[in-house]
Amino acid sequence: MALFESESSSGHVADHLIALTEKVDEIAQRAGVSAVARLDLDTTLAALPWPSRRRLGLVLESARVGTNDKAVQEAVAMMLALAADVWARTPPPVESGDTGSQA
């Protein structure tokens, strides 16, 4: 029986990961990230500009603290870990109109 519950739980986590991936894509679209840069989750996360990275982080944290569903919490934790890994390796792209600060 525990194996069935584990498989069922994994299925629920996968379902939530799919929904979270769709949310990432939605945020990227709104940020103006091109379709080419949204071909997979890693490239989509890497292409997010800083404000959208912050927005996504807040959305994920809100989902994590706003539920008692262990599958949702696990899926959000996985997405947060992936985003943190991608963002640690990839600086946010320079936004159009952003010339950066000159010191």
The per-residue pLDDT for range 6-58, each reduced to its tens digit, is 445 678 999 999 999 999 999 999 999 999 999 999 999 999 999 999 999 99
- pLDDT bracket for residue 96 (50, 70, 90): low
Per domain, the residue ranges of the chain are 12-89
Tokens of 4: 């069935």
Tokens of 12: 């629920």
Residue of 82 and 95 predicted with greater confidence? 82
Residue with the two structure tokens 């990839």 = 90
- State pTM to two decimals: 0.81
CA pair distance 31, 29, nearest whole angstrom: 5
pLDDT at residue number 11: 80
